[in-house]
Structure 1
Amino acid sequence: MLAAGSSRVLDCCTVAQAIAAIEPGTETPGPLLFQTPALNTAVLIKALPPDHRFVDSRGQPRTRVGTKIYVPFDGRRLADGGQTTFFGTKQFQSAMAGLIDLDQAAKRAAFESDCAKLVMLDKLPSLAPFLLRDRLELSKIEVDRRYYQLPEDEWKLICSFIRAEFARIVDAILPDQRKANQEKFDRLLDKLWALSDVAGLEELADAFQIPRSDCLDTFYAWKGVIYFKFEFARAWPTMQPCFEWLKANAELPQIADPKARQGMQAVLRDVYGRLALAVKDVRERVKNYENSFEALFGDKGDPRPFLAFLKDAQEQFTVIGLSLARAQHMVEVWNTRSSSYPGRRMPGGAIRDLLAALVDLSRDEN
């Protein structure tokens, strides 16, 4: 969990160490994410908290993804152990109180400011570089680019993709806007992107038939689903080799003992099924969104499927993000461990360790 790069994990500790190691005069680093030293040595991990299933104010079932805060005992050796708590719990407050002298006004103020940032991050289903940069910019929080490591051309490509999809939908729901005034139409898209003009967005919420009180979260969730649509299309080709490898190794000929081989085959099938289920969940939910999108442009121009999607956009954003991050994390770990062997021909012990790691990563509660 700590060693592999993943959109489920934000390694603040390693970023802070990289910034501290910059030679004076070679470059000017951006600010650290947090003011509290203990949090700058932490690793943030997205996971399902014990109370992840709940019913919202409208009686709709929802899923909540929480943020684990792992503070290592030694930042130079992350895997040697540390304190792990969910942000927003009493255990988190107690753990931080043991690391920070909150009786000092300056340290308390810094910690409270950092908690406001954690509240923002806690709402995200994953810590994918695009989402992380987008939320930080929307919140006007400047940090060093090492936290998200997103090339500028990639950022612009994703932004253009999302904005184009926004434009098609708004044009379909409010067909007279662009015809009447292109400049006003562009300003409306700017408001939808920046989520800053609440009054303007509330009027848009009326057109989309969603509660005004939910419009900021709903519109951001829509933006997030479009991003995950883009990301899944790009990620799927990198996932296919993992599925092919799991199929090719289904017989596990390198394990000589028949009983041991049979047991490991069951684990391998379980891993394949868990990975396939995560990918299926993403694919089906993205497809449902695409169908609602395309229904607007059919012969009848039916807006009802898309309006139904918007009412459930926050749940779709959360579950798609969680499932995609889980699948990508499993594939990343598979790739990292198997690529060190020629032709990915792993011995029995290495496969056993890999499958055990993949089972652990497939659990939402990790």
Structure 2
Amino acid sequence: MSDRAIRNLEHLRRSASTARVLNLLKVSDDHGHTDEWSEKPMFQTPSLNTSLIIKHRLRRNETDSFPGRRQVATKLVLPIDTADLKTGGRFVFVNQIGFERVMLEAFGLPAEHHDIRTLRLMDQLPSLDPFLLREQLRRGGVDAAPCYFAISEADLAKMSAFVEREIEPLVTLSIGKGVDATQSSARMASKILSNTPGDRLEALRMTLRLEPEQYQEGVFCWKGFLYYKWSLNSMMQDIVKVADEVASVSPWGPVDASSREYIKRGRGVLRSNIMQTCEKVSQTLKYYDQAYAGLTQRGDPLAFRDFLLEAPTLFTRLGDQLGAIQHIVSFWRFRFNANSPPVQVDELIDIFMDFETGLMGRNFDDLAAEFPV
């Protein structure tokens, strides 16, 4: 492991979980003494419960490690010494070729083990955003303690209120105009957010003529769209602020000519890429808005049916884009707050390279042609 990789690992230890990184080592440091951490662990294997799990954009020499074509993988990093990350770490990609053999040889875990299933549930998500990660694990029967998910009660309340407002037109369509839909919207929002079945949700499935599995997967991704829409709205001021700070940040200490040129170029490119990615997220969300308006305003359920069928693919696209933005904002807050030490040139270059890699456009040409937004 290179010096720069070691420095990155040390930063990950100190920083909280983000949409790209699940820092179980920090969760263990902060909550390992509590009953909830020990009684409801995310993983049953102790070493996995102090690991770092990263949504990693694959390099060209890594793509052959997988049986199919993919750009982002779930990377499981196990520090050699959790007290001293300078010793580096071992890693494996979830679902890489030979993954089951590696997990059996390294941890004695058979393919059907709870922890293998948990890792595969994580691998199905486009990002490790705590809200969606919690919902995905619950959907898969994994009931991990709240300390593993950095979600405040205030944010949960705001998210619930946002979902209620979003689905009120659908509830009004169901119960008729002129009737107060507030309580009905709250109940339906609760069912959507908790994956709880209900008569009104079943009626919607029948209206859309979807099979139960298609509908369940579509509704989960619909919930993801609602969450991402709320996230983008609530983060927009911070995104613009971070983008402006990126454009003006300078390293501390001496800077050679080549580093100065890279940072000068990187400021402008990175800021532009951040804002362009936000625009792509907005365009993907507009596709959902149009389909939902067709159902609730024009009485045309076919567009929303098509959206639910396409939602898993679009959800991956959206999560990849917004996850990269969320990671940048979260890490920037951590590294460039008032109490942080000055950033030196090598570290700033590392940060720029990491951010640029995360924002690197996936090839969505085929998707754009099939699902115009």
The Cα shift of 1:10 comes to 1.1
The Cα shift of 1:332 comes to 3.0
Q: Which moved more, 1:216-225 or 1:144-153?
A: 144-153
Flag the 1:364–1:81 CA change in 2: closer, same or farther, 3 A. farther
Per the alignment, residue 309 of structure 2 pairs with 311
Residues in 2 aligned to 1:182 and 1:263: alpha-carbon distance in whole angstroms: 54
**RMSD of aligned residue pairs (Cα, Å):** 4.1
Tell me if the contact between 2:28 and 2:50 (Cα under 8 Å) persists in the aligned partners.
Answer: yes
| 1:16 aligned residue (28, 40, 62) | 28
Per the alignment, residue 319 of structure 2 pairs with 321
Flag the 1:153–1:246 CA change in 2: closer, same or farther, 3 A. closer
The Cα shift of 1:238 comes to 0.8
Residues in 1 aligned to 2:273 and 2:53: alpha-carbon distance in whole angstroms: 24
Residues in 2 aligned to 1:276 and 1:52: alpha-carbon distance in whole angstroms: 34
Unaligned runs of 5+ in 2: 1-7, 363-373
Residues in 1 aligned to 2:67 and 2:232: alpha-carbon distance in whole angstroms: 24
Per the alignment, residue 88 of structure 1 pairs with 95
Secondary structure in structure 1 of the residue aligned to 2:77: strand
Q: Determine if the alignment matches structure 1 residue 330 to structure 2 residue 337.
A: no
The Cα shift of 1:87 comes to 1.4
Tell me if the contact between 1:292 and 1:305 (Cα under 8 Å) persists in the aligned partners.
Answer: yes
Flag the 1:272–1:193 CA change in 2: closer, same or farther, 3 A. closer
AA aligned to 1:77 is D
AA aligned to 1:281 is K
AA aligned to 2:230 is F
Tell me if the contact between 2:160 and 2:189 (Cα under 8 Å) persists in the aligned partners.
Answer: no
For 1:41-60, what aligned pairs fall within 5 Å after superposition?
41-47=50-56, 50=63
Tell me if the contact between 1:201 and 1:215 (Cα under 8 Å) persists in the aligned partners.
Answer: no
Per the alignment, residue 122 of structure 2 pairs with 121
Residues in 1 aligned to 2:249 and 2:22: alpha-carbon distance in whole angstroms: 32
Tell me if the contact between 1:126 and 1:325 (Cα under 8 Å) persists in the aligned partners.
Answer: yes
For 1:108-257, what aligned pairs fall within 5 Å after superposition?
108=110, 112-169=113-170, 171-172=172-173, 174=174, 192-195=192-195, 197=197, 204-248=204-248
| 2:79 aligned residue (72, 87, 94) | 72
Per the alignment, residue 266 of structure 1 pairs with 265
The Cα shift of 1:225 comes to 0.4
Unaligned runs of 5+ in 1: 55-62, 103-107
Tell me if the contact between 1:202 and 1:215 (Cα under 8 Å) persists in the aligned partners.
Answer: no
For 1:347-362, what aligned pairs fall within 5 Å after superposition?
351-362=348-359
The percentage of counterpart residues that share the same residue type is: 23
Flag the 1:139–1:161 CA change in 2: closer, same or farther, 3 A. farther
The Cα shift of 1:258 comes to 6.4
Residues in 2 aligned to 1:43 and 1:361: alpha-carbon distance in whole angstroms: 17
Give the number of aligned pairs.
Answer: 342
| 1:98 aligned residue (97, 102, 105) | 105
The Cα shift of 1:67 comes to 2.1
Q: Note the alpha carbon deviations across 1:116-137, whole angstroms, 9 max, x for none.
A: 2223322222222222333344
Residues in 1 aligned to 2:177 and 2:211: alpha-carbon distance in whole angstroms: 21
Flag the 1:255–1:66 CA change in 2: closer, same or farther, 3 A. same
Q: Note the alpha carbon deviations across 1:38-60, whole angstroms, 9 max, x for none.
A: 31122122245646987xxxxxx
Residues in 1 aligned to 2:221 and 2:132: alpha-carbon distance in whole angstroms: 11
Instruction: Provide TM-score, normalisation by structure 2.
Output: 0.74
The Cα shift of 1:148 comes to 0.6
The Cα shift of 1:32 comes to 1.4
Flag the 1:163–1:124 CA change in 2: closer, same or farther, 3 A. farther
AA aligned to 1:116 is R
Tell me if the contact between 1:138 and 1:194 (Cα under 8 Å) persists in the aligned partners.
Answer: no
Flag the 1:306–1:199 CA change in 2: closer, same or farther, 3 A. closer
Tell me if the contact between 1:70 and 1:82 (Cα under 8 Å) persists in the aligned partners.
Answer: yes
Instruction: Provide TM-score, normalisation by structure 1.
Output: 0.75
Q: Determine if the alignment matches structure 1 residue 39 to structure 2 residue 48.
A: yes
Tell me if the contact between 2:67 and 2:96 (Cα under 8 Å) persists in the aligned partners.
Answer: no
Q: Note the alpha carbon deviations across 1:6-29, whole angstroms, 9 max, x for none.
A: 11111223323434345xxxx664
Tell me if the contact between 1:73 and 1:83 (Cα under 8 Å) persists in the aligned partners.
Answer: yes
Residues in 1 aligned to 2:349 and 2:333: alpha-carbon distance in whole angstroms: 15
Tell me if the contact between 2:248 and 2:267 (Cα under 8 Å) persists in the aligned partners.
Answer: no
AA aligned to 2:275 is A
Per the alignment, residue 58 of structure 1 pairs with none
The Cα shift of 1:142 comes to 3.1
